[in-house]
Amino acid sequence: MKRFAFAGRVCLITGAASGIGAALALELAKRRAVLALLDIDAPGVERVAALAREMGAAEVTTYVVDLSDGADRLDLAAEIAARHGGVDLLINNAGVTLMGTFEQNQMSDFDWLLEINLHAVIRMTKAFLPQLLARPGAHLVNISSLFGLVAPPGQVAYATSKFGVRGFTDALRHELEPRDVGVTVVHPGGIKTNIAAAARVSGADPDGEQIEQAQRFAEAALTLPAEEAARQIVAAIQARRPRLVLTKEAKAGDWLVRLTPTRWWAVTQRFGKRRGIL
């Protein structure tokens, strides 16, 4: 499969108002892509759109969508097809997280997270797959997580969703490979975004020890700027890489869980306590 060329190609990004999504929009704007930016945050996505236009995007349109509402996205796909003729690159980036143990989590919060992190990825892919199949050399990117490789306590909902994204993407890659559609799954580790700060607290004391520990861990782990993450993701798309593990922490976690699938968390705890972050 040929390398992906971005100039003039229609690129749809979910979760484009901040973090990795915003950084991806600006990185693709430099490459003269046509951008369709989607987020629930209307002012935020418009700010990113304005910056993308300044940075050279061929065209930018925005769509304010609540991915937690369970819609099939067929109307959105029809709207984007009418405006742009179809999508060449779909990046399912939007994601949320949830604080608290599984025992503490309310099922309504668990379902909310799964709807955004997993079901929306599936629905967006289903809605836009006909367009991807119709565009020569199209590409699909699904953002999983380090927690799609390892599953720590206190992250049951998030890990469930991100392991789901990983499995969905890996299986779909094998189906689409003969049909000239590239597929990449991305496992970011400690990226400097606001996902931890914006986490929903479900059945847990927001001033409690567990929340403070999670915040300390996030501050220590979130080290890679979103702009650098976006550059690496764009390079992986261009090269048609099937899998990208971002940050040394994520690579170490991937290696550790392969080495000791049932003991990796005990090893991580010992290391974290020595560093004062667990």
Catalytic position from the list 6, 128, 147, 158? 158
DSSP alpha helix (H) spans, the chain: 19-30, 42-54, 74-84, 107-114, 120-134, 156-176, 209-221, 226-238, 248-259, 264-275
Q: Catalytic site residue 158? A: yes
CATH class (in words) of the domain with range 10-248? alpha beta
Core vs surface per residue 179-194: b (16+ CB within 10 A) or e = eebbbbbbbbbbbbbe
CA–CA gap between residue 50 and residue 42 (Å, rounded): 12
Could you read off the pLDDT tens digit of each residue along the chain, which spans 278 residues?
899 999 999 999 999 999 999 999 999 999 999 999 999 999 999 999 999 999 999 999 999 999 999 999 999 999 999 999 999 999 999 999 998 899 999 999 999 999 999 999 999 999 999 999 999 999 999 999 999 999 988 889 999 999 999 999 999 999 999 999 999 999 998 655 555 555 556 665 554 565 555 555 555 555 688 999 999 999 999 999 999 999 888 898 899 989 988 887 887 777 656 655 45
Amino acid at 74: L
pTM check: above 0.85: yes
Q: Check: CB of residue 94 under 8 Å from CB of residue 120.
A: yes
DSSP letter at 2 equals P
CA–CA gap between residue 32 and residue 11 (Å, rounded): 11
DSSP per-residue string spanning 178-204: GGT-EEEEEEE-SEESSTTTTPEE-SS
> Whose structure tokens read 């990825």?
121
CA–CA gap between residue 229 and residue 23 (Å, rounded): 8
CA–CA gap between residue 46 and residue 83 (Å, rounded): 18
> Whose structure tokens read 């067929």?
74
Q: Give the angle subtended at the CA of 28 by the CAs of 178 and 70, to the nearest 5°.
A: 65
